[in-house]
């Protein structure tokens, strides 16, 4: 009966996912609960493919909740998994653009050669001061501010205000 089933420790070793994570994935519905044989949990070999997909999704920034939705939709072939993936792609693109803006600001700041950030001797022409306050008079530049994006701000606010589903599950 255990011919096509793998014990939990073997699945953990082959997939690189800890046994405790496998049990957690069961609880949150990412993988099906494996049968217990002689007190040890077993899984069908196909779970390795599913775990590989879960890890890939995690590596590109999907949350476990998003991964569960993706996998459910993929199984049901409803097509909305593509919508979820497209939303994630758009989020990543916004993050890339934000990081590029940060890089451009940093490059301009380094090119300015100011000995001090706050008291630039070339206030009127300092790229950092111009970028930090583009509408102000050159002589009234304010302190520089890092570019912000709604995606990054939303993610930070959400992570600070509520525990993630993983954290919530680990507290049980």
Using alpha carbons, select from 62, 52, 59, 58 the residue that is nearest to residue 31. 52
Per-residue model confidence (pLDDT) at position 2: 52
d(CA 163, CA 132): 34
Strand order in the sheet with 40-44: 5-7, 40-44, 36-37
Q: How many CB atoms lie within 10 A of CB 42?
A: 19
pLDDT tens for 45-103 read 999 999 999 999 999 888 999 888 888 777 775 666 777 788 888 988 999 999 999 99
d(CA 163, CA 102): 28
- Using DSSP, state whether 154 is helix, strand or coil: helix
Per-residue model confidence (pLDDT) at position 155: 44
pLDDT class of 110 with cuts at 50, 70, 90: confident
pLDDT tens for 156-165 read 444 444 444 4
**Sign of the Cα pseudo-torsion (154, 155, 158, 161, in order):** negative
- Using DSSP, state whether 84 is helix, strand or coil: helix
Whether pLDDT at 148 is above 90:
no
Per-residue model confidence (pLDDT) at position 161: 44
What is the set of domains in the chain, with CATH numbers? Answer: 5-79 (1.10.1660.10), 95-161 (no CATH)
pLDDT tens for 36-45 read 999 999 999 9
Q: Give CA separation, 84 vs 9, 54, 66, 80, 100, in Å.
A: 32, 15, 8, 6, 24
């Amino acid at each position: 009966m255990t011919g096509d089933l793998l014990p939990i420790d073997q699945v953990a070793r082959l997939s690189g996912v800890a046994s405790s994570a496998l049990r957690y994935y069961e609880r949150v519905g990412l993988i099906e609960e494996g049968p217990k044989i002689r007190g040890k949990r077993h899984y069908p070999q196909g779970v390795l493919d599913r775990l590989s997909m879960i890890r890939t999704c995690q590596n590109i920034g999907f949350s476990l909740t998003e991964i569960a939705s993706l996998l459910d939709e993929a199984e049901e072939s409803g097509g909305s998994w593509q919508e979820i993936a497209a939303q994630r792609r758009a989020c990543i693109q916004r993050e890339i653009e934000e990081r590029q803006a940060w890089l451009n600001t940093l490059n301009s700041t380094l090119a300015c050669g100011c000995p001090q950030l706050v008291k630039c001797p070339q206030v009127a022409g300092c790229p950092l001061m111009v970028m930090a306050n583009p509408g102000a008079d050159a002589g009234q530049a304010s302190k520089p501010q890092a570019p912000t994006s709604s995606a990054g701000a939303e993610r930070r606010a959400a992570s600070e205000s509520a525990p993630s589903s993983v954290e919530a599950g680990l507290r049980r």
